[in-house]
């Protein structure tokens, strides 16, 4: 079985599904694998139609089942010192190397290799395969995918998002909002700044306030289960100006907020909007045409499944994880499934410490461990979900 998984993984890696490009080639490949086992699927297209998520249900659609979630996109490789071709799928010393091997085509390959046995097993409960686009650039494809899932089936009893967690069960992570502020002022000679409106000054003032808000969140504290154990506010970039003797008329600032479970991102954003409005008014005192435009880059909710929930114990048994469920620093699509009312955990093969890096790899042993989880899932699907959730 591991040879089949490795072959599928190498073929997935060979499809360059970088987020900046269309993912329709990898979607077509997945469709062919599903069709070869007699499983039908449907696309959930992006607004422009150049990308798509894929949704397939194996088993009875009128009963609660399990969602297996993965994303099809990967991050770029430019500027990284790879020693193997990043889009070839190289097998060496019982490891598969290539972009996405860990994040997260390894889990996707395990699921696709398991389709025949899942089809045979899914007699009392279904399994839903939900594969998204553009997760790496802000979980952009998942909202429509989750919506399509919930409109087409009985609400699932469980969702497993197969991000690389070394097969540890992850019950919680932070939410995220990222925005870009584009500041337009008025240029002029630096000897007469009172006749201009300095866009960089406005950007710096906003960044300074964001730093103060970040310090407030540190003081507020949070949950020691997270690292760091508080909501973070981070300025990622601030650009503007061209010459020292010219008042800059444009600047751009990008920031993100990563919220602890229970912390209202809307409250923080409202305070930031007030700061932006004050800086806009200050610029317009000299230049009525000045403006600050806010653009959302990405947003997804956090995950906060209880450590002692029945589904948490169930996934731990499936994964062979004997340690207490944990948290991770990175975000996933799991919060979107949980927000839709589906109890959700994150668990998958590979280590995120290898993700997004040169010579990304996943071991045969890690793929085999995920394959065992699929065996245990197949056993569950022969019984109604109410039965295996109740005894967890």
- In this prediction the pTM is 0.91
Average pLDDT over residues 270-282: 97
Residues 249, 208 contacting (CB under 8 angstroms): no
44 forms beta bridges with 53
Helix ranges (DSSP H) in the chain: 2-13, 24-36, 106-113, 115-121, 142-152, 199-220, 265-286, 310-319, 334-339, 364-380, 385-390
Which structure tokens are listed for 123?
A: 């007699």
Q: Is residue 125 pLDDT above 90, yes or no?
A: yes
Average pLDDT over residues 124-133: 97
Q: Is residue 222 pLDDT above 90, yes or no?
A: no
Residue 387 has what pLDDT?
86
Which is more confident, 261 or 373? 373
Average pLDDT over residues 377-386: 93
Q: Is residue 117 pLDDT above 90, yes or no?
A: yes
Q: Is residue 160 pLDDT above 80, yes or no?
A: yes
Confidence of residue 392 (pLDDT cuts 50, 70, 90): low
Q: Is the backbone of residue 270 left (phi > 0), alpha (psi -120 to 50) or beta? A: alpha
Residues 172, 209 contacting (CB under 8 angstroms): no
Q: Is residue 272 pLDDT above 90, yes or no?
A: yes
Average pLDDT over residues 248-264: 95
Average pLDDT over residues 251-257: 98
Average pLDDT over residues 85-93: 96
Q: Is residue 319 pLDDT above 80, yes or no?
A: yes
Residue 311 has what pLDDT?
95
Residue 187 has what pLDDT?
93
Tell me what the pLDDT averaged over the chain comes to: 95
Residue 248 has what pLDDT?
94
Average pLDDT over residues 127-145: 95
DSSP, residue by residue, 186-197: B-EETT-GGGSB
Average pLDDT over residues 327-346: 95
Q: Is residue 212 pLDDT above 90, yes or no?
A: yes
Exposure string of 356-381, with b = 16+ CB inside 10 Å and e = fewer, is: bbebbbbbbebbebbbebbeebbebb
Residue 184 has what pLDDT?
97
Which structure tokens are listed for 92?
A: 């060496």
* Residue 267 CB contacts under 8 Å (≥ 6 apart), including other chains: none
| Angle, CA of 167, 56 and 356, to the nearest 5° | 40
Integer-rounded Cα Rg, in Å, for the chain is 23
Q: What are the Cα distances from residue 115, in Å, to 39, 129, 375?
A: 8, 10, 11
């Amino acid at each position: 079985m591991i040879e089949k998984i490795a072959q599928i993984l190498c073929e997935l890696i060979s499809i360059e599904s970088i987020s900046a490009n269309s993912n329709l080639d990898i979607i077509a490949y997945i469709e062919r694998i599903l069709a070869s086992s007699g499983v039908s699927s449907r696309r959930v297209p992006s607004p422009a139609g150049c990308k798509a998520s894929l949704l397939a249900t194996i088993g009875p659609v009128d009963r609660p089942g399990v969602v297996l979630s993965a994303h099809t996109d990967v991050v770029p490789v430019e500027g990284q010192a790879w020693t193997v071709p990043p889009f070839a799928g190289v097998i060496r010393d019982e490891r598969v190397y290539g972009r996405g091997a860990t994040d997260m085509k390894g889990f996707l390959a395990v699921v696709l290799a398991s389709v025949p046995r899942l089809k045979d097993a899914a007699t009392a409960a279904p399994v839903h395969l939900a594969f998204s686009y553009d997760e790496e650039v802000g979980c952009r494809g998942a909202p429509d995918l989750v919506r399509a899932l919930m409109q087409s089936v009985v609400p699932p009893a469980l969702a497993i998002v197969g991000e690389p967690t070394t097969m540890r069960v992850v019950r919680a992570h932070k939410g995220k909002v990222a925005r870009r502020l584009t500041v337009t002022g008025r240029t002029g000679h630096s000897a007469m700044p009172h006749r201009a409106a300095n866009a960089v000054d406005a950007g710096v003032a906003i960044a300074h306030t964001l730093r103060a808000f970040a310090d407030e969140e540190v003081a507020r504290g949070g949950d020691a289960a997270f690292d760091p154990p508080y909501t973070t506010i981070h300025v990622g970039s601030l650009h503007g100006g061209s010459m020292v003797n010219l008042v800059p008329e444009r600047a751009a600032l990008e920031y993100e907020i990563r919220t602890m479970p229970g912390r209202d991102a809307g409250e923080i954003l409202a305070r930031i909007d007030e700061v932006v409005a004050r800086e806009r008014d200050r610029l317009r005192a000299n230049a009525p045409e000045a403006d600050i435009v806010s653009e959302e880059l990405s947003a997804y909710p956090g995950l906060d499944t209880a450590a002692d929930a029945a589904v948490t114990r169930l996934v731990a048994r499936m994964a062979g994880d004997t340690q207490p469920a944990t948290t991770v620093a990175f975000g996933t699509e799991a919060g979107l499934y949980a927000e839709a009312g589906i109890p959700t955990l994150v668990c998958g093969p590979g280590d995120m410490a290898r993700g997004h890096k040169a010579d990304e790899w996943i071991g045969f042993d890690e793929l085999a461990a995920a394959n065992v989880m699929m065996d245990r899932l197949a056993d569950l699907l022969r019984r109604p979900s109410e039965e295996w959730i109740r005894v967890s």
